[in-house]
Amino acid sequence: MIYDSHIHTEFSADSEMKIAEALAAAGTQGYGLVLTEHFDPDYPGDWVFEFSPEDYWAAYESLRGRDDDLSSGLSLGVECGMMPDHAKALRDFIARAPFDQVIGSIHILDNGDIYEKDYYQGRDKDSVFTRYYTVMAEMVRENPFIDTLAHIDYICRVAPYDNPGLEYERYHEYIDEILRALVETDTAMEINTRRFGDKAVLDELAPVYRRFRQLGGRMVTVGSDAHTPDRVGLNIRTAVDFADSMELVPVTFRNRKAVKLC
């Protein structure tokens, strides 16, 4: 069964999606789901990306799939925002419920929200992207308990430069550090399909995932990052084919164990 291993329902501050809507959207496509609600403590600005694991479990546990049986297609996960000195807070949070999958993300750089256009005022691409890559590599090492690193290309969604892409050739030394950190900590890498509407993005990402494989990486998760039902499962099949073409192994996590998609 194919899994969309990154979606948000109403336990995430920026999503109003109901669990029934998410399950219906995945069901019509024959996909399983991992809910990955936002836990991003000390988020700057007005957003509060926190939730109660106990309430989450009380609401959804009865829908959760059985251990090691991916045909029962719902896993309960979390997307943890990684910032310096937050590893303990994340560990403590994760210990409060038997999460199936923990994904680690970079949404914040030096206490600035990189989703906000203001962040880029007076900053050129070189300074922002090299900092982004450097922090990401450090956070993978500081948080080796995450199962998969989300959206390496998150910043490319919003960076207001002529070329907002990852540019592996230009930044390969920095990107390789992230990939080495993933391999050394035995962390999977996500293929996030949010930008897959533009097929040129596949060419942009290919050298990064090819290099991950070359350095010893094998496992990838695939996720749409859907916050609305119409985006659940979007381009997931394309991402699985992309992984296969790189000889990477698409997996999802159930009870914190990697299980191959089939």
The three-class DSSP label of residue 192 is strand
Report in angstroms how near the CB of residue 33 gets to Zn ion at its nearest: 13
d(CA 257, CA 262): 16
Q: Is 190 in the site for Zn ion (CB under 5 A)?
A: no
Report in angstroms how near the CB of residue 15 gets to Zn ion at its nearest: 9
Q: Which is nearer to Zn ion, 6 or 254 (CB)?
A: 6
Report in angstroms how near the CB of residue 106 gets to Zn ion at its nearest: 8
Number of residues that bind Zn ion (CB under 5 A): 3
Residue 21 CB contacts under 8 Å (≥ 6 apart), including other chains: 229
Q: Which is nearer to Zn ion, 213 or 253 (CB)?
A: 253
SS3 for 132-189, per residue?
Answer: HHHHHHHHHHHCCCCCEECCCCHHHHCCCCCCCCCCHHHHHHHHHHHHHHHHHCCCEE
Q: Do 40 and 81 contact (CB within 8 A), yes or no?
A: yes
Binders of Zn ion in range 217-236 (CB under 5 A) = 225
| 15, 105, 193, 221: residue in contact with Zn ion (rule CB under 5 A) | 105
Q: Which is nearer to Zn ion, 196 or 213 (CB)?
A: 196
Radius of gyration of the chain (CA): 17
Report in angstroms how near the CB of residue 152 gets to Zn ion at its nearest: 11
Q: Is the dihedral of CA 5, 8, 14, 15 positive or negative?
A: positive
Stretch that binds Zn ion, among 97-105, 137-145, 231-239, 240-248 (CB under 5 A): 97-105
Q: Which is nearer to Zn ion, 142 or 225 (CB)?
A: 225
Report in angstroms how near the CB of residue 169 gets to Zn ion at its nearest: 25
**Neighbouring C-alpha atoms within 13 Å toward the C-beta of 52:** 4
Report in angstroms how near the CB of residue 36 gets to Zn ion at its nearest: 6
Residues that bind Zn ion (CB under 5 A): 79, 105, 225
